[in-house]
Amino acid sequence: MQVDKTTLNDLAIFAHNEELSVLHHIDFTRTIGGREWLRYLLSKPLNSIKDVNNTQRLIQRIISVHAQWPQHITNGTVMVLEKFYDTPIDDMASRANPVNAFTYKLLHTADYSLVKYSVEHFTAFVKGLRLLADLLKKDGNPPNLQVMIDRIDFMLGKPELKAVLQTADSKTVTPVEMLKRGYFFRSRFKDECFQLIETYNILDAYYSMATACITYKFIFPVFVDDANPRFSATGLWHPLLQVPVAYNIALEKQENFLFLTGANMAGKSTFIKAIGLAVYLAQVGMGVPAQTFELSYFDGLLSNIQVEDNIIQGESYFFNEVQRIRKTIEKISDGKKWLILIDELFKGTNVQDAMKCSTTVIEGLLKMQNVLFVLSTHLYEIGEGLKKFPNIQFRYFETEVSNGQLLFSYQLKDGISNDRLGYLILKREGVVDMLEKL
């Protein structure tokens, strides 16, 4: 699925303030490498329904054994292993025996202590991987999971590791055996060790996705092989909100354009982002924040939510809005399935101009039935003229005023809102009183 940097930023997949990002929200990794892999997996929507289904099955397999997941492999464990290969130490004998082991321990005390410490962590690491591979083994595993299990099986199948895997307590390991293991890990297992670390990092990233699905009660969406774009959701919510409101929404070829209105702060932007984020997570292979979610595979997802001006290049906000629309039209004219999210079209010009521009753009986009559109606007006046098009649906977020106070239910209703509450917000925040006292 094609997604650009603007869309990733609009949906807060990766945010400048990291704590407000989706990445941070679903990050339950235990290693730095796992987190890097999580970032990578989250940045690469998958290329087909088959790939999505395989990733869903992988995450679901991890969920099924989540309570048994070995916890003794930590980022500290991995750091010790990597440090062992970077730290210069005096050479160990290729064949340890009681004499040279005693000599090494006596004359190279610091190095022996490092070897012993590192071997203990190696032992914990390979035993943890052995347990992990055995835990995940199952007939019919998805190929992407089975490849990792086979890799672990192959690399841990070396005869030298048999005694290591059977070690009950590292304190019982003799200096001779300790140096044998140290020599093996350092001189004959380096490449394999780094490959196993990378394999564990990948599993750690998928473990994080599985943990997020469990923690936030995400459900796995159902993909349908449909030539036309569509999705339907019940109980859809935005996962970054502490107290989210759930929505029901459906778009398909016959009604592929959602015209959304409502007052400022009524919930339009959050709703649009919730749709985009759910579709994005679905095509990464993750669960989504909804009660039910069914969709076709989308070839692309583009948003037009947080357009900015460019002072350096002398480009106005309105000019950049126009450029974003132009580039969007160019992309979605390829006949493929797209989801387009537009929040407050043409905010950068006067109302009359915005109405004319918006009507022109919407009427043009309504001709494209291979694309799903969600568009919000304050320009409710243009809605009446759009009712002649059979493929547009109208929704709004209701707002009530009680005793001068604004009440937002964040409930999605059928129809068009004509709320104009900007002045009330200005007055509620005390700005009108401040101005009157100047």
CA distances from 142 to 29, 46, 55, 280 (A): 22, 15, 8, 21
What pLDDT score does 410 carry? 81
With respect to residue 386, please indicate whether it lies within any of the assigned structural domains.
yes
CA trace torsion 335, 337, 342, 348 (10° rounding): -20
Q: What is the mean pLDDT of residues 202-225?
A: 98
Strand order in the sheet with 231-236: 222-224, 292-296, 231-236, 247-251
Query: Which stretches within 285-382 are classed as H helix?
Result: 317-332, 351-365
Q: For residue 83, is pLDDT > 50?
A: yes
What pLDDT score does 169 carry? 78
Q: For residue 195, is pLDDT > 80?
A: yes
Count of structural domains, the chain: 2
Are residues 48 and 63 both part of a single domain? yes
Q: How far apart are CA 93 and CA 389, in angstroms?
A: 83
Number of neighbouring beta carbons within 10 Å of residue 299 = 20
Phi-psi map region of 101: left, alpha, beta (phi>0 left; psi -120 to 50 alpha): alpha
pLDDT, tens only, 294-348: 999 999 999 988 765 454 444 577 888 888 899 999 999 999 999 999 998 887 7
- Amino acid 163 reads A
With respect to residue 270, please indicate whether it lies within any of the assigned structural domains.
yes
Q: What is the mean pLDDT of residues 395-419?
A: 80
Q: What is the mean pLDDT of residues 412-423?
A: 78
What pLDDT score does 424 carry? 65
With respect to residue 359, please indicate whether it lies within any of the assigned structural domains.
yes
3-state secondary structure 56-69: HHHHHHHHHCHHHC
Look-up: residue for tokens 């007939």? Answer: 139
> 397: which 2 tokens?
């977020």
- Residue 229, SS3 per DSSP: coil
State the CATH number of the domain containing residue 211.
Answer: 1.10.1420
Q: For residue 425, is pLDDT > 70?
A: no
What pLDDT score does 391 carry? 96
Model-level pTM greater than 0.75? yes
Are residues 194 and 237 both part of a single domain? no
Are residues 316 and 331 both part of a single domain? yes
Q: Which residues does residue 428 pair with via DSSP β-bridges, in sequence order? A: none
Are residues 358 and 419 both part of a single domain? yes
What pLDDT score does 405 carry? 67
Q: For residue 61, is pLDDT > 60?
A: yes
pLDDT, tens only, 246-264: 999 999 999 999 999 987 7
Q: What is the mean pLDDT of residues 14-19?
A: 82
Q: How far apart are CA 41 and CA 38, in angstroms?
A: 5
Mean pLDDT of the chain: 91
With respect to residue 10, please indicate whether it lies within any of the assigned structural domains.
no
What pLDDT score does 306 carry? 76
* pLDDT level of residue 8 (50, 70, 90 thresholds): very high
With respect to residue 16, please indicate whether it lies within any of the assigned structural domains.
no
Q: How far apart are CA 318 and CA 356, in angstroms?
A: 14
Q: How far apart are CA 426 and CA 419, in angstroms?
A: 15
* Final residue of a structural domain among 180, 215, 250: 215
Q: What is the mean pLDDT of residues 166-177?
A: 86
* Final residue of a structural domain among 182, 215, 248: 215
Are residues 211 and 226 both part of a single domain? no
Are residues 67 and 195 both part of a single domain? yes
What pLDDT score does 35 carry? 97
Q: For residue 128, is pLDDT > 50?
A: yes
Are residues 295 and 203 both part of a single domain? no
What pLDDT score does 338 carry? 97
Q: For the ranges 32-46, 214-228, 265-279, which has the lowest average pLDDT?
A: 265-279
What pLDDT score does 411 carry? 85
- Amino acid 16 reads H
With respect to residue 20, please indicate whether it lies within any of the assigned structural domains.
no
Contact yes or no for 45/229 (Cβ under 8 A): no
Percent of the chain with pLDDT over 90: 76
* Final residue of a structural domain among 215, 249, 270: 215
What pLDDT score does 312 carry? 41
Identify which of 182, 204, 50 has the alpha carbon closest to the alpha carbon of residue 132.
204
With respect to residue 5, please indicate whether it lies within any of the assigned structural domains.
no
Q: How far apart are CA 108 and CA 87, in angstroms?
A: 14
Q: Which residues contact 387 (CB under 8 A, 6 or more apart)?
A: 394
Q: What is the mean pLDDT of residues 226-230?
A: 94
What pLDDT score does 421 carry? 61
Percent of the chain with pLDDT over 70: 94
Provide the domain limits for residue 65: 27-215
Are residues 171 and 231 both part of a single domain? no
Q: For residue 350, is pLDDT > 90?
A: no
Q: What is the mean pLDDT of residues 43-53?
A: 96
Look-up: residue for tokens 């992309």? Answer: 331
Are residues 234 and 120 both part of a single domain? no
State the CATH number of the domain containing residue 352.
Answer: 3.40.50.300
Contact yes or no for 21/15 (Cβ under 8 A): yes
> 175: which 2 tokens?
């200096």
- Residue 91, SS3 per DSSP: coil
Q: How far apart are CA 252 and CA 370, in angstroms?
A: 9
CA distances from 429 to 71, 378, 398 (A): 50, 21, 21
With respect to residue 3, please indicate whether it lies within any of the assigned structural domains.
no
Are residues 198 and 236 both part of a single domain? no
Are residues 234 and 376 both part of a single domain? yes
Identify which of 45, 42, 57 has the alpha carbon closest to the alpha carbon of residue 1.
45
Q: What is the mean pLDDT of residues 52-69?
A: 97
Are residues 185 and 327 both part of a single domain? no
